[in-house]
Amino acid sequence: MAIRTSLRELAYDEAAAEMAQGATPIDLRPVEDYLDVHIPGTIELLYEFGPGMPSRARDCLPLDSSLLLLDLGVGDLTNAASSLRGKGFTVVGYVSDAVNGWAAENGTPVSTEIVSGPAPPDAFVLDVGDPGAQVSDPGVRIPVERLWSRASELASQGPVAVAAGAGVRAALAVGMLERAGVPEILFWRTLP
């Protein structure tokens, strides 16, 4: 017998109310698309069918978080919701075209500057353990699995450069830092 999972579609105003009450918006797009434009404080969980995405969520986000999926044309939302619920999260629903809805009410969404090269940018360097990142002397190492509770420590550091290799964990860190009020975040690809 097949198991049916329901996923409620929310109008943008309903989704905004959920976010105001603490729901965490989840962006499932590829890293580059997320960095190009996203709602501030949105958590990037690269969609993939299988255990990777929900396991990253479980390891990095508080299980008592209510999640709101952003339907931005990527991934199977029903599968994503089922996978996240299977890890213990509450998924309140999904909203279509959330970036444009947010922009209509709040102005321009954010973009995260990407810098590349072996030399660190002129910023406080954060190593979150992104696979492939080559960081010889970070300002601080905080594994992405612990960053949710420690991100506010970096709010007064000035620009923060998140060291990225593959980029999946580093992109996840960008949203956590935005939620914690870090005013300027760079995404540093450590290899040219």
CATH number of domain containing 184: 3.40.250.10
Q: In tens digits, what is the pLDDT along the chain, a chain of 192 residues? A: 344 468 999 999 999 999 999 999 999 999 999 999 999 999 999 998 888 999 999 999 999 999 999 998 888 999 999 999 999 999 999 999 889 988 999 988 999 999 999 999 999 999 999 999 999 888 899 999 999 999 999 999 889 999 999 999 999 999 999 999 999 999 999 986
Q: Which domain holds residue 43?
A: 9-106
Amino acid code (one letter) for 45: L
Q: Is residue 4 part of a domain?
A: no
Report the pLDDT value the prediction gives residue 2, as an integer from 0 to 100. 46
Considering 83, 106, 129, which residue would you say is the last residue of a domain? 106
Q: Cβ(39)–Cβ(123) under 8 Å?
A: no
- Do 64 and 85 lie in a common domain? yes
Domain count for the chain, please give it: 2
Give 182: exposed, middle or buried? Use CB within 10 Å, 0-12, 13-18, 19+.
Answer: buried
3-state secondary structure of 182: coil
- Do 117 and 99 lie in a common domain? no
Considering 85, 106, 127, which residue would you say is the last residue of a domain? 106
